[in-house]
Every structure is written in structure tokens, then in C-alpha cells.
Chains A and B, each alone.
Chain A
Amino acid sequence: MHKYIFRRILMLIPVMLGVSFVVFTIMFFTPGDPARIMLGERAPADEVALLRTQMGLDDPFLVRYVNFVVNAVRGDLGRSLVTRRSVAAELFSRFPATMQLAAAAVLVSVAMGIPIGIISATKQYSVFDGFSMALALVGVSMPNFWQGMMMILLFSIAIGILPSSGYGTFWHLIMPAVTIGTSSAAIITRMTRSSMLEVVRQDYIRTARAKGLSESVVINRHALKNALIPIVTVIGLQFGYLLGGAVLTETIFAWPGVGRFMVDAIRQKDFPVVQGGVLLLALTFSLVNLIVDIMYAYIDPRIKAQYK
């Protein structure tokens, strides 16, 4: 198992190199001169040229790329062209907000999605099943920004119990987390239901029932555990996706996360922030995937056996 984890961590190196190469190439060919952006539209051409040389912008593509990678490995992602602060400091000052929102949204979605999915599967074609599947369809289809605005109208303006935007307290977290959480919950509900339905038709479930086990033991101990693999995969993917920033939701609720920061950076042609941000998100996404894979082993001993 340890060997497997170590191998997977090693595999992160080519993944990160690939991501860094792609993002660096895209930014390289994007129009806009970083030196000009830093000095402003009115700076004389000779000063811009001097800064270009100082920043190494006149070097060939490969030299610049290698420098970028070497510096990134040392933890130096450069300085933001806009705020002049270190990119790493800028990203890490926003990462907790993103992490908080992603974690809260996943908790909301798991708390809603798994129980509803299990009940739907065990009571297939019941009224509850039909109702919850319809609700899940609405949840998946409803755009986050619309749901966010409706929640603001209801809870901030009409009832006046929650702050409409901002960051810092538990109360600020509720609406953005529920907004994102419900759409993820819909996906998890559907996945839980279909996975459970598949499992409950297996022979070992019939055997368990034939042994005279109670229905709750059959479902919880035998069925759910075997149905969990695809569910955990979906939860992991959702979490990774949310770490990339739920940009629309962050914008609507003025949530100071990485996603919004990166969109602003793209708009302002803040190349180092875009590069550093993409690397950070690729890394966290890969780590989340790794954690999901490791969790497989604990959920299903057969997979653990394969790792040896």
C-alpha cells in the first residue's frame, strides 16, 4: 500500500510538468506584454524594454519555461503584475476561503445526497423515490447563479435572516454552501441510487436476506459498503471541481476565493497569478484523486489486496 501511494505521488511529477507546460505555453502566446502591464500604458518604451530584460521576458521560450519550473519547485511562483505581491502569498491568502466553501458544500451534498439516494433505492418506484428523483433533476438543472440570487432574495431581502454577501462568519457560509451543495447533492443522490440498485440485485444480498438478517443490516452493512466506490469517486470529483473555484457562486456572494481571483487575473492579464493558480489547482485536484484512490482500499479489501 505504501509503495502504491509513493508511486502515485511520483506520478504527480509528470502530471504537474505537463500542466505547467500547457499553461505556460498558453500564457506565452496570449497577447499582452507583462512589462507593459506592470509599468502602465504611459510608460516610455525604453523603460518597458529595460524591465523586459530584467524580468527575462526576452529569453527564448524554453529558457523561460525552465526558469519558471525551477523557481516553482523552490516555491517561488513569481510576483503578481497587478498587486506586486508574491503569487504564492496571494494564492494562499485566498485558499482557506475556497477550501472552506468546498468542504462545506461537499458536506451539504453528502448529507443530503447519500441518505436520499439510499431511501430511493430501497423504496424504488415509491412516491418518495419519484419525488426525490424529480428534485434531483431540478437540482442538477438549476443554474447556481440563479439559485444564489433567489436565495438572496428570499433569505436576505424578504426574510432578512442571512447576510447577502461577504465572508467571515458561519452565517456568511450558509447560502454559498447550500447553493453549490444542492447541485452536487443531486448528482450524489442519483449516483447513490443507481449504485445501490445494482448492488441489491447481487447474489450475496439475496444470501444475506436468506440468512435472515434484518433489512437494515442487509442495506447498511452489505449493500452500502459495496455501493460506495462509485459514490466516493463522484464525491471526490465534486470536491476537486469545487477547489477549482465555483467562480459564479463566489462572485454572487462576494466570496474571496481562488476562483474569482483567477478570473480577475485572466482579465487583467496577470500571467504569473494565472500560471501559479492553475498549478495549485492541478496539484490539489491530483491530491484529492489520490486520496479517493486510497479510500477505495479501505472501503473494499479486494482493492487493497491488488495494491500489494
Chain B
Amino acid sequence: MRFAKSIAVALVLIIVAGTLFAAGAKEPQATKTQNRDTIVVAMGADARSLDPHETNDQPSARIMKQIYSTLMHQTEDLQIEKGLVTDYRVVSDTVYEFTLPSGVMFHNGETLTSRDVKFTFDRMREKNAPAGFLMAALDRVEVIDDLNFRMVLEFPFGPFLTHLAHTAMSIVNEKAVTAGGADYGRSPVGTGPFKFVEWRAGDSITLERFDDYYRGPAQASTIRFRFIPEDANRAIAIETGEADIVFDVGPNDFANLEALPSVITSQITGLTTFYMGFNAAKAPFDDIRVRRAINLALDVDGATEAAFLGFATPADGPLPPSVLYANQDLDGYGYDPAEARRLLAEAGYADGFTTSIWTNNNPVRVMYSEIFQEQLRQVGIEVSIEIMEFAPYLDRTALGEHDMFMLGWVTVTGDADYGLYSLFHSTQFGDAGNRTFWGNAEVDRLLDVGKTNPDPAQREQAYMRAQEIITEQAPWVFLANRDELNATRNYVEGFIPHAAGHHNLYRVYNR
């Protein structure tokens, strides 16, 4: 027995010694006590790269937002204002001139000049950046002098200034990019309020306050982004105080967190629209009466409540209300199965028909499909549901093989052009975004006006009318706009959520 005992004792000692050695013994980090200077942010996924020309995903954008600056800035209520520039002039439909402030420093000690701006946009094109399509209108950047430059467009582009505010348009420094080489995405240098310190793959990214930030130093000295994939665990992290801010609280956890006095929750309408599209190139969906009938046959509000547990706003039109130029006066369709039956009979489908809903395996979309299957049966339409993998799903809907399909769209720029053009313009059929294959000459014209006219008043007018026609013509069943759910500890000050999820942490601090 002595041998067994000594084995046990030795093994326990090895465990303790080995793990202490391997993990590096540090202070117990049980429940974190409030640390005034460090803000811990929990989010669901690791960044892919911190090079704005290598990726266009949200987790990366959330971190780049703190490291870099953009020429224009989008406020939390989605208004566009001057960012890095002190002044800009719209010289003509296709020429914009900008002035930079003097003495703006990059984190590597370099001073910002017009040449960095030119380098940034040239590199975006050369590298075929994933978000490069946002600058498709840009022909070239001309350096006038150190602080003045000109941006010349190939064609007039209404949302140009809005797109300059997107995180993917962050200004980089040539010297830093060259020094970083292939791994620049792991050693980013910007002019933003926080500089990069450390990236522990899959675990965390740490940023530190940049004292020479051109708008004055940020409030917090350190920000640590932690990646916690499970919704429930992110909620636990804020409950125990291990995190000060949590992005994307799961709907199941939101009510629990709301009840805690130590946590402040926030629920805002986001920029994500969920919809069910019709294939308008195919019978019977080429008939407007059928499309409208299906809109009327569905209790969208009830289905949305079930699918999102109340954390979404039912949609009355194609754009979330927070988007610039969203038409707030649309009434949607309401639930009227009797009128739906009448319209179907008028269209020659008094006995209904057989069709299918395609969706990928996203649980919310599947739930909508199942609810709609039953509701459409009530008006005589027999629906089968086909659930498939996302990649073949996108490929096959782009080819127009479907009848009805479930999809979503995020208007990341917060501008109506992004939320309407790809989805409803007749030049965008298939892969480009319009999987309904529905087109309308008047809507095409209005979307072109909105896209190419820099005058906000004329853009607004065009978009308002376009949304009326789209809603009336019903190429979609308009489902819901998802709410963005975030939470902070009650001692966190200055956190204002951004609808696109790119929250600015410049003013945030622990009280």
C-alpha cells in the first residue's frame, strides 16, 4: 500500500508543480474586483485580422474601431460627421477635397499626412480588400500637399462620405505596414485612441491608451477584449464581474441580467433585417397578388415574438428604422387570412398550390419556416421546408432554383443605398444580392438617384418613394429587425451602443 500512497502523493505534487509551471502562477483571478483603469469586454468571437484591408468581419471591426481612425465618423445615431479631417469640400459630383489636422500621430510616432491617405486607398485596391466594394466609386486620391488631398470618383456616389466612415476605411501608415510585412494584421498601427499590445489567439486582445491621440487621451488606460463563444458564459462573465461590458447578450440570458442590480442592460434596434423572399421569376410568385396574399396570410408579429423571444421589432418595410432614409410611414401588411384567400382566388389559386421554403440551418429562420408552413396551410398553400448548408444554399438561391427563401441582410453602413441597392435593383440579380429576381423600372431609377446624387434632400425623396413601391410590390415578406443586446456592469460609464455593433470605447471608464 505504501507504494500506491507514494504514487498518489507524487502525482498530486506533479500536478501542482506541472500546472503551476505550465500556466505561470499568478494571483487568483476568481471574481474580478472592479478595476478602475482596465475595461474588460467580452464578445463571442476572436478577430480574424487587424489589417483593415484583410477582413470585413464584425469581431475584427470592433477592435479596429479602437485602434484606427477614419476620415469621416458615424455617430451612435448614425449621423455622419467629420472624423480625422478638419474640413471637406464637395467640389463637384465626383470631386471631394479634404484637409487633415496637423500633428496627428500614429502609434509608431509617425505623423499623419495626405500620403498615408493615398497609400491606404491604393493599398485597399491592390490587396483586393474584402470591404473594397464600398469604395468602388473611388477612382484615385490626389495629394495636394502634406495636409490637403483630393478624392476623385469615377461616377457620382451619394453615400461616399458615409462609406468613408466605415471601419474598413481606417487610415494606415505606410511605414508600419511595410515593417509589419505579411503579419501586419497582428501588429496594427493606427491613429486611434488605443494602441495594440497583445493578441492571445482565441483568448484575448489587449489594447492600451494612446496618450498622443489627437482628440485627447481616452478615459480607460487598458481595454481587454475576451472571446467567450457561449452566450451563457458571456452572461456569467458579466454577472460575476469578470467582464465589465458584454457584447451580444443572448436573448435567453437578457431577462436574467436585467433583474441584476449590478448590471445595466441595453436593447436597441440593430441594422439586421430578416426576410422571406419570393422567386418572382417563377410562377406563381411572378403575380403580385400571390405575393401580397402570402404577406397577408402570415402572422408575422406572432412568429417574430416566438423566433426572437421579443428581442426584435416586426418590420413594416425593407429597411430597419435606424437606417438613414428609412421610411417610417409604411404600414406593412398585417394579418388578414380572409383577404389572402380572396387575393389567391383572384389570381386563380382558389385551391391553393404546392411550393417550398428554403432556408439554411439558422434556428431562427427554421422556426419562421415551420410557423409559416402551418399558417400557409390555412389558406390552402402546401409548403415543404428544405434546410441546407449555407454555402450551397447561397449558390443555389443565386441561381434562382428556389421558390421562397429565408435570409437576412445587415445594412452595415447605416445608409439606405447599402440596404436597398443590392437587394432590389434589377442589375443585382443572383449572386450580387437580389435573389428574388424581382425588378421594377421605377425602383431602379429611384435607387440610381439615391446612389449617385450627393444631395441629401433628393436622396431622401428617392428612397422614401422606392420603399413605398417595394412594400406595395412585396418581393419579400418583411419579417423583423433584430435588436442589439448589450450589457455593462453598473459602474461602467460612457458606453453608448452603436447599431452596427462597432461600439466606440473612447469615452468608456469604470467609475
List the interface of chain A (C-beta within 8 A of B).
31-32, 39-43, 45, 47, 82-85, 90, 93-94, 97, 100, 103-104, 107-108, 110-111, 114-115, 118-119, 122, 149, 152, 156-157, 160-173, 177, 215-217, 219-221, 224, 251-254, 256-257, 260-261, 264, 269
Which residues of chain A are within 8 angstroms of B56 by Cβ–Cβ distance? 40
Asked whether, in the complex, the Cβ of B30 is within 8 Å of the Cβ of A160, the reply is yes
Which residues of chain B are within 8 angstroms of A269 by Cβ–Cβ distance? 391
One of B4, B55, B201 near A224 (C-beta < 8 A): B4
Which residues of chain A are within 8 angstroms of B178 by Cβ–Cβ distance? none
The reply to whether the CB of B91 lies closer than 8 angstroms to some CB of chain A is no
Asked whether, in the complex, the Cβ of B394 is within 8 Å of the Cβ of A224, the reply is no
| Nearest chain B CB to A140 CB, angstrom units | 21
Which residues of chain A are within 8 angstroms of B54 by Cβ–Cβ distance? 84
Which residues of chain A are within 8 angstroms of B201 by Cβ–Cβ distance? 90, 93-94, 256, 261
Kindly state the separation between the CA atoms of A164 and B42 in the bound complex, as whole angstroms.
12
Asked whether, in the complex, the Cβ of B185 is within 8 Å of the Cβ of A254, the reply is no
Stretch at the interface among B108-116, B227-235, B275-283, B351-359: B227-235
Which residues of chain A are within 8 angstroms of B227 by Cβ–Cβ distance? 254, 256
The reply to whether the CB of B26 lies closer than 8 angstroms to some CB of chain A is yes
Instruction: Tell me the B1-35 residues at the A interface (CB within 8 Å).
Output: 1-5, 7-8, 11-12, 14-15, 18-20, 22-32
Which residues of chain B are within 8 angstroms of A115 by Cβ–Cβ distance? 4-5, 7-8
One of B7, B11, B24, B183 near A169 (C-beta < 8 A): B24
Asked whether, in the complex, the Cβ of A170 is within 8 Å of the Cβ of B20, the reply is yes
One of B18, B29, B128, B185 near A163 (C-beta < 8 A): B29
Asked whether, in the complex, the Cβ of B28 is within 8 Å of the Cβ of A171, the reply is yes
| Nearest chain B CB to A271 CB, angstrom units | 12
One of A39, A220, A253 near B128 (C-beta < 8 A): A39
Which residue, of A97, A157, A165, A173, has the highest number of chain B Cβ atoms within 10 A?
A165
Which residues of chain A are within 8 angstroms of B83 by Cβ–Cβ distance? none
Which residues of chain A are within 8 angstroms of B432 by Cβ–Cβ distance? 42
Asked whether, in the complex, the Cβ of A114 is within 8 Å of the Cβ of B8, the reply is yes
Q: Mark B231-254, 1 if CB is under 8 A from A, else 0.
A: 011001101101000000000000
Which residues of chain B are within 8 angstroms of A251 by Cβ–Cβ distance? 229-230
Kindly state the separation between the CA atoms of A170 and B15 in the bound complex, as whole angstroms.
11
Asked whether, in the complex, the Cβ of A83 is within 8 Å of the Cβ of B4, the reply is no
One of B8, B19, B29 near A104 (C-beta < 8 A): B19
Which residue, of A93, A157, A164, A216, has the highest number of chain B Cβ atoms within 10 A?
A164
| Nearest chain B CB to A119 CB, angstrom units | 7
Asked whether, in the complex, the Cβ of A31 is within 8 Å of the Cβ of B229, the reply is no
Kindly state the separation between the CA atoms of A171 and B20 in the bound complex, as whole angstroms.
9
Instruction: Tell me the B266-304 residues at the A interface (CB within 8 Å).
Output: none
| Nearest chain B CB to A286 CB, angstrom units | 23
Asked whether, in the complex, the Cβ of A157 is within 8 Å of the Cβ of B240, the reply is yes
Instruction: Tell me the B386-425 residues at the A interface (CB within 8 Å).
Output: 389, 391-392, 394-395
Asked whether, in the complex, the Cβ of A254 is within 8 Å of the Cβ of B128, the reply is no
Asked whether, in the complex, the Cβ of B26 is within 8 Å of the Cβ of A170, the reply is yes
Which residues of chain B are within 8 angstroms of A253 by Cβ–Cβ distance? 233
* A103-B22, A107-B11, A115-B4 known; A254 vs B229 contact (CB < 8 Å): yes
One of B1, B48, B232 near A220 (C-beta < 8 A): B1
For chain B, the count of residues having a C-beta within 8 Å of the partner chain is: 63
The reply to whether the CB of B456 lies closer than 8 angstroms to some CB of chain A is no
| Nearest chain A CB to B493 CB, angstrom units | 25
Asked whether, in the complex, the Cβ of A94 is within 8 Å of the Cβ of B202, the reply is yes
| Nearest chain A CB to B38 CB, angstrom units | 14
10 A-B pairs with CB atoms under 8 Å apart are A41-B431, A85-B183, A108-B15, A156-B236, A161-B31, A220-B3, A224-B3, A252-B230, A252-B233, A269-B391
Which residues of chain B are within 8 angstroms of A161 by Cβ–Cβ distance? 28, 30-31
Asked whether, in the complex, the Cβ of A167 is within 8 Å of the Cβ of B394, the reply is no
| Nearest chain B CB to A174 CB, angstrom units | 8
Which residues of chain A are within 8 angstroms of B200 by Cβ–Cβ distance? 167-168, 256
Asked whether, in the complex, the Cβ of B202 is within 8 Å of the Cβ of A152, the reply is no
Instruction: Tell me the B114-140 residues at the A interface (CB within 8 Å).
Output: 128, 130, 133
* A84-B54, A104-B22, A111-B8 known; A47 vs B30 contact (CB < 8 Å): no
Asked whether, in the complex, the Cβ of B31 is within 8 Å of the Cβ of A170, the reply is no
Kindly state the separation between the CA atoms of A254 and B44 in the bound complex, as whole angstroms.
10
Asked whether, in the complex, the Cβ of A104 is within 8 Å of the Cβ of B15, the reply is yes
| Nearest chain B CB to A144 CB, angstrom units | 14
One of A122, A160, A168 near B240 (C-beta < 8 A): A160
B201: nearest chain-A partner, CB-CB: A93
Asked whether, in the complex, the Cβ of B4 is within 8 Å of the Cβ of A172, the reply is no
Which residues of chain A are within 8 angstroms of B49 by Cβ–Cβ distance? 83-85
Kindly state the separation between the CA atoms of A33 and B433 in the bound complex, as whole angstroms.
18
One of A40, A156, A166, A224 near B203 (C-beta < 8 A): A166
* A43-B128, A111-B8 known; A168 vs B23 contact (CB < 8 Å): yes
* A84-B185, A252-B230, A254-B229 known; A221 vs B203 contact (CB < 8 Å): no
| Nearest chain B CB to A93 CB, angstrom units | 4
Which residue, of A40, A152, A170, has the highest number of chain B Cβ atoms within 10 A?
A170
One of A40, A100, A164, A169 near B233 (C-beta < 8 A): A164
Which residues of chain B are within 8 angstroms of A85 by Cβ–Cβ distance? 49, 183, 185-186
Which residues of chain B are within 8 angstroms of A45 by Cβ–Cβ distance? 431
Kindly state the separation between the CA atoms of A32 and B431 in the bound complex, as whole angstroms.
14
| Nearest chain B CB to A246 CB, angstrom units | 14
Known: A160-B31, A164-B237. 20 other contacts (CB 8 A): A43-B133, A83-B185, A84-B185, A85-B186, A111-B11, A114-B8, A115-B5, A156-B31, A161-B28, A162-B30, A163-B30, A163-B31, A163-B32, A163-B240, A164-B233, A168-B24, A169-B27, A169-B29, A170-B23, A173-B19
Which residues of chain B are within 8 angstroms of A97 by Cβ–Cβ distance? 202-203
Which residue, of A85, A166, A260, A269, has the highest number of chain B Cβ atoms within 10 A?
A166
Which residue, of A47, A84, A100, has the highest number of chain B Cβ atoms within 10 A?
A84
Kindly state the separation between the CA atoms of A149 and B230 in the bound complex, as whole angstroms.
11
Asked whether, in the complex, the Cβ of B30 is within 8 Å of the Cβ of A260, the reply is no
Asked whether, in the complex, the Cβ of A31 is within 8 Å of the Cβ of B203, the reply is no
B232: nearest chain-A partner, CB-CB: A149
The reply to whether the CB of B150 lies closer than 8 angstroms to some CB of chain A is no
| Nearest chain A CB to B277 CB, angstrom units | 16
Which residues of chain A are within 8 angstroms of B233 by Cβ–Cβ distance? 152, 164-165, 252-254
Which residues of chain B are within 8 angstroms of A162 by Cβ–Cβ distance? 30
One of A111, A160, A216, A254 near B226 (C-beta < 8 A): A254
Asked whether, in the complex, the Cβ of B19 is within 8 Å of the Cβ of A170, the reply is yes
B40: nearest chain-A partner, CB-CB: A166
| Nearest chain B CB to A61 CB, angstrom units | 20
Asked whether, in the complex, the Cβ of B128 is within 8 Å of the Cβ of A172, the reply is no
Kindly state the separation between the CA atoms of A177 and B176 in the bound complex, as whole angstroms.
41
Kindly state the separation between the CA atoms of A169 and B394 in the bound complex, as whole angstroms.
43
